[in-house]
Each structure stands twice: as structure tokens, then as C-alpha cells.
Amino acid sequence: MRLLWIDILKILAIFGVILLHVSAPLLVPFEVSLEWWTGNVYDSLSRWCVPLFVMVSGALVVPGAEKLPLWQFLIGRMRKILIPFLVWSAIYFFYRIHFKGDDFTVSGFFPMLFTEPIYYHLWFIYMLIVLYLFAPPVSAFLNEAPEKHAWYLIALWFCWASLLPIVHTPLDIETYFNPGLDDYSALKLSGYFLLGCMLKDRRVRSKGHLSIVLTVFVVAAAVTIIGTYLMSQNRGEFHPFFYKYFSVNVVAMTLSLFLFIKSIFYTRKETTETGKERIRMNSPKFLQKIGMSVFGVYLIHALVLELLRDGHLGFIIDHNSAFGLPIPLWAGIPVFTVSIFVFSLLPVLFFRSIPIVRGIMT
């Protein structure tokens, strides 16, 4: 059984990642203009993308991690992500040499791989590797400990990663409890990993409660948009405080979107009147194929973005135009996003159709 809500969340998350990368260049430098506001709106509406990926990973990986022998789990998981990660890191490494003009030598590939991501979006894979390494003991803890202990850990994470920064940044009050970790660290995002596991079997059943969940998302998105503008205006430069993946508003957007999609497209088994078992809301084949291609799309999309934008494919698609036709910015951003997704998905589907290449590229 392939879970429909999982496939939809994964596809939404990769769309969000691409939309974020498309709109982000419009935000710096800060200026009160239609271009900046358009970028701010689209970027704000996509800030849940990475946390959503982490939650889906937690829902899929954590529950059964301790049931497998440790070596079998680690080898299985690492094989699926490390080989494509190494291959695409090498591709981006040579892309930077031949297209970006970076002065790298082949001998510097592995030292660089261990010190920094070869390309900006690959930081996510480093974070994911760390979370996978912790998945077996986390799974054992969640299966043995009372549920309240898991929620206690999540509450501590929320206070530390989400509430404490409010004291430090907007209020400018320094405390000795400053988290002091990189915003992309696995520890900073680990709460989403736990939340994905804890919420995997929960859903909102009534339409009234679904309306509340949707309202939370809309309000949190508005806070992200307006808060980013007000803080940037106050500081005279773009300030990403409300954009951070663990900010209160992004946590609210991510959780509400997760619960909303999961509740609407909940996959379940049920027994018919004749006593037979059937699956409700199973994922259709085409969504399964796209869902299984999302990791590959993530790896390749940064390259496709630049190839389309710079015209290396023989035509240009960017924020303002497509195939030589001008497009207003408010429409150009989603058109550019969809184009990147499609031109990323097609080669990934092709790679996945070749058994030998499938495990290497995607």
C-alpha cells in the first residue's frame, strides 16, 4: 500500500523548495517595491518546504527503524541517499569548474565534500544523514517510553529552537541559553523528525477542526509575510528572522499543512459489508512515480534552474519570460517554478526507468 498523503506531501514539499529558490533572489537587497513584495509573498508561502520534508522522513523512517538489525537499517538507508549524493556532488563540482569558473582541482573534491556542500541545496543531505543515524535509537525510545515523554522532548525543542530566538533577535536580549547552532543543523530541525513520527497516525476528523487548521496556516503565512517586511524595514536591510525553519510562524504553517493534507487524503484499510478488506485513498500510479522521484528532483533542480535561466538548453525561462514571451512577475515565478519541476522530473523518470542507473542517480 502506497500512502496517498505521503506522496502528496512529498510533491508539495519539492514544489515549495523550488518556489523558495526561485523567489529568494528577489529579496536582496531590501527595497519597498513590487518586485520585492512579490518575492516576499512567494518565499513566505513556501517556508514550510524543508520542515515538511523532515516530517515526512520522520513519519516514514522512525517507526520501523528499530525493528531491523542496526547494520541492515543503516546500510539500506545510506545506500539510497549516499550514492546519488556522491554522484550529484561530483556533477555540481565539475559544473562549478566548467560553467561557473571556480578554480577547483579534482584532488580537492573529497576534502571539500567533507567541509561544505558542493552546491547550496545539498546541505539538506548532510542533515538527513545525521537524522538517519539517530533514527534507530529514537525509534526504540518512542516505542518503549510513554508518549508524554516524546511530547516533552518536542516541547523542549520548541522552547529552545522556536521561542528562545524571539528573546534574542526581535527583543535584542542576550541570554546564556542562546542555541548557537547553525540554522541548518540536524539538531535544530530534529523536532520535525519527531513530530512526523508522532503525528503519522493522527488526523483531523471534523470539518470545523479542518477549518481551524487551515485558518492557522493562513494566519501564520500572513505573519511571515508582514513580519519579514516590518523587521526588514526597521533594520534597513532584508532580515530572515520570520523565514527561519523553526520560527513559531513556520512551525505553525508546517504542522497545519501536514495535518490538513493528511486528514483529507488519509489512506486506510477498511472492511466491506461482505467481509473483504479494501484500501481507501491509495496513491494512484502516476503519483507514486512522481513521489518516488522527488529525491532525484531535489538533487537535480538547482542545475535545471540555472540551465533554464541562463539559456543553456537553447531557450530561456525565468521570472519574467518563457520561450521569448514576456510574463508579469506575479505569474512568472510560478511558471518558472513549474518549468523547473517538469524539466527536473523528466530526466529523473528516465533515469529511474534504467535499472542500473536508478540507484546511482536518484
228 in Cβ contact with 40 (< 8 Å): yes
Residue 10 CA to residue 301 CA, distance in Å, equals 15
Q: What is the mean pLDDT of the chain?
A: 91
Average pLDDT over residues 111-115: 94
The count of domains in the chain is: 1
Give the pLDDT confidence of 325-343 residue by residue, as tens digits.
999 999 999 999 999 999 9
Instruction: Supply angle C-alpha 332, 17, 266, rounded to 5.
Output: 110
Chain centre distance of CA 156: 23
Task: Look up residue 176 and give its three cell numbers.
Answer: 546564556
CB atoms inside a 10 Å sphere around CB 358: 15
The least confident of 3-17, 187-201, 235-249, 271-285 is 271-285
What confidence tier does 164 reach under pLDDT thresholds 50, 70, 90? Answer: confident
| pLDDT range class, residue 359, cuts 50, 70, 90 | confident
For residues 311-316, average pLDDT: 94
Helix H or strand E encompassing 279: strand 277-280
3-state SS, one letter per residue, for 197-213:
HHCCCCCCCCHHHHHHH
- % of the chain surpassing 90 pLDDT: 75
180 pLDDT more than 80: no
Q: 259 lies in which domain range?
A: 4-361
The amino acid sitting at 75 is I
72-81, 130-139, 274-283, 337-346, range with the lowest pLDDT: 274-283
CA angle centred on 324, ends 321 and 327, rounded to 5°: 30
State the SS3 of 130-173: HHHHHHHHHHHHHHHCCHHHHHHHHHHHHHHHHHHHHHHCCCCC
pLDDT, residue 270, reads 58
Between CA 182 and CA 155 the distance in angstroms is 20
Cα 231 versus chain centre, distance: 25
Q: Which residue has the cell 545539498?
A: 122
Calculate what percentage of the chain has a pLDDT beyond 70: 92
**When comparing pLDDT for 362 and 60, which is higher?**
60
Report residue 81 as a C-alpha cell.
Answer: 541517499
Whether 266 shows a pLDDT value over 80: the answer reads yes
Distance (Å) of CA 63 to CA 125, 270, 349: 21, 22, 29
pLDDT recorded at residue 355: 86
The distance from CA 147 to its chain's CA centroid, rounded to whole angstroms, is: 26
Residue 272 is predicted with a pLDDT of 58
pLDDT band with cut points at 50, 70 and 90 for residue 279: low
- pLDDT of 276 above 70: no
Beta carbons of 20 and 44 less than 8 angstroms apart: no
Question: Is a pLDDT exceeding 70 seen at residue 280?
Answer: no
pLDDT value, residue 362:
84
| DSSP 8-state symbol, 277 | E
pLDDT above 90 (res 174): no
Residue range 68-89: mean pLDDT, rounded: 91
Model confidence at 25: pLDDT above 70: yes
The pLDDT value recorded for residue 271 is 59
pLDDT value, residue 278: 56
Written as nine digits, the cell of 66 is 528499530
Determine the average pLDDT of the residues in 8-24. Answer: 97
